[in-house]
Amino acid sequence: MSLSTSITLKLEILSERHEEVSLLLSDPDVVANRERYTTFMKEFAELEPVIAAYGAFKEISNQILDAESLLADEDSEIRELAQADITELNGKIEETERNLRKLLVPKDPNDQLNVFLEIRAGTGGDEAAIFAGDLFRMYGRYAEERQWNIETLSERHGEHGGFKEIIARIEGKEVFSRLKFESGAHRVQRVPETESQGRVHTSACTVAVLPEQEDIEQVDIDSKEIRVDTYRSSGAGGQHVNKTDSAVRVTHLPTGIVVECQDERSQHKNRARAMSLLSAKLLDNAQSEQQAEQAATRRSLVGSGDRSERIRTYNFPERRVTDHRISLVLYRLDEILGGNLDDLIGPLTQEHQADLLAKIGDVP
């Protein structure tokens, strides 16, 4: 077994860089500069497992070559032992190669970040709002299973249940890495309780998952381009929220983006959270424009993440969930709505990783 030329070239470049960084870490000038030393240490730690796996791959490859050279030996016992070694080594090298490919997948710098989750009812009226409530409970249960914290920032209830819109912040380990493929249009097919003829109706909601940037200075927001309004919260919180204008609405005038936060009792905290959400939205807009340009020349295996793109259908009569990006069909609707999302997220992540790996030229 051998790696493609492009993968091998990539690994050789990384090996040279690993050696270079190793030497830099022993340079007195670098050691004396705390910032440079920390930067190189981080890079070295990221390169180390890749180089170790590549070294193991080359070692096993050489062992296979040695064993193959014995297949022509006159002694039948030696030939038999060599063949047994080759079989065992082939298994080892396949496992090592899989690990190596996984390590080569480019890291998403946002994977470790917390997120803002937005769910909005689309076509379908009351039924769409009820479905938005179903989706919010689904993500809430998934967050609970992973011991993430979830807080509601703003909500507009539907007239017959659910939400016309709900925005929440989810905090925990690797939140964005698990939820980033949830952005898009989610469609539901079921018989509404008000339907007397038993006909199946189709409704939809849009979901947006935005990474919360640790440094909101990544997006330059001119104070002259925003309008901040305060008002009395209409949500839960007791008598206090009705006595003070603690809720905050921020409007970004150039884009027309409006964000609200009424969860905290402190106006200062609500404003800080609203500005963080605005920053995430503006950064997401900029990245979406860039991705749209790239998508014109290259198709993504897991979809563009466009809010208008239908990504998943929840069919109640058949208890079926279909993810249209990878043609995945699961007949476990109740489990999935109950928060068991890993059977959907896992295959999407694998497809995405395969796509990223293909970008460095390893296309079969």
Q: Tell whether 158 and 95 lie within a shared domain.
A: no
Q: Are 362 and 7 in contact (CB under 8 A)?
A: yes
Task: Name the pLDDT band for 193 (thresholds 50, 70, 90).
Answer: confident
Q: Tell whether 213 and 345 lie within a shared domain.
A: yes
Q: Are 132 and 117 in contact (CB under 8 A)?
A: no
Which strands make up the sheet holding 247-252, listed edge to edge? 226-231, 247-252, 257-261
Q: Tell whether 18 and 137 lie within a shared domain.
A: no
- 210: domain CATH number is 3.30.70.1660
Residue in the block written with tokens 């007949």:
331
Task: Name the pLDDT band for 143 (thresholds 50, 70, 90).
Answer: very high
Q: Tell whether 90 and 157 lie within a shared domain.
A: no
Three-state DSSP state, 95: helix
Q: Tell which of 71, 104, 137 closes a domain.
A: 104
359 inside domain: no
- Number of structural domains in the chain: 2
Q: Tell which of 78, 104, 130 closes a domain.
A: 104
Q: What's the mean pLDDT in 18-28?
A: 94
Question: Which of 149-153, 266-270, 328-332 has the lowest average pLDDT?
Answer: 266-270
Q: Tell whether 100 and 145 lie within a shared domain.
A: no
What does DSSP assign to residue 159? B
Task: Name the pLDDT band for 118 (thresholds 50, 70, 90).
Answer: very high
Is 0.85 surpassed by the pTM of this model?
no
Q: In 3D, which of 230, 1, 18, 20 has the Cα closest to residue 101?
A: 1
Residue in the block written with tokens 């020349």:
297
Q: Tell whether 275 and 311 lie within a shared domain.
A: yes
225 inside domain: yes
Give per-residue pLDDT as tens, 49-104: 999 999 999 999 999 999 999 998 899 999 999 999 999 999 999 999 888 888 88
Q: Tell whether 82 and 209 lie within a shared domain.
A: no
360 inside domain: no
Q: Tell whether 161 and 243 lie within a shared domain.
A: yes
Higher pLDDT, 145 or 278: 145
- Residue 107 is predicted with a pLDDT of 80
Supply the mean pLDDT for the chain. 84
Q: Tell whether 90 and 130 lie within a shared domain.
A: no
Give 352's contacts (C-beta < 8 A, 6+ positions apart): 181, 301, 302
- Residue 296 is predicted with a pLDDT of 47
141 inside domain: yes
Percent of the chain's residues with pLDDT above 90: 51
189 inside domain: yes
Q: Are 275 and 250 in contact (CB under 8 A)?
A: yes
Q: Provide the residue range defining the domain that includes 87.
A: 5-104
- Residue 40 is predicted with a pLDDT of 94
Q: Tell which of 64, 81, 104 closes a domain.
A: 104
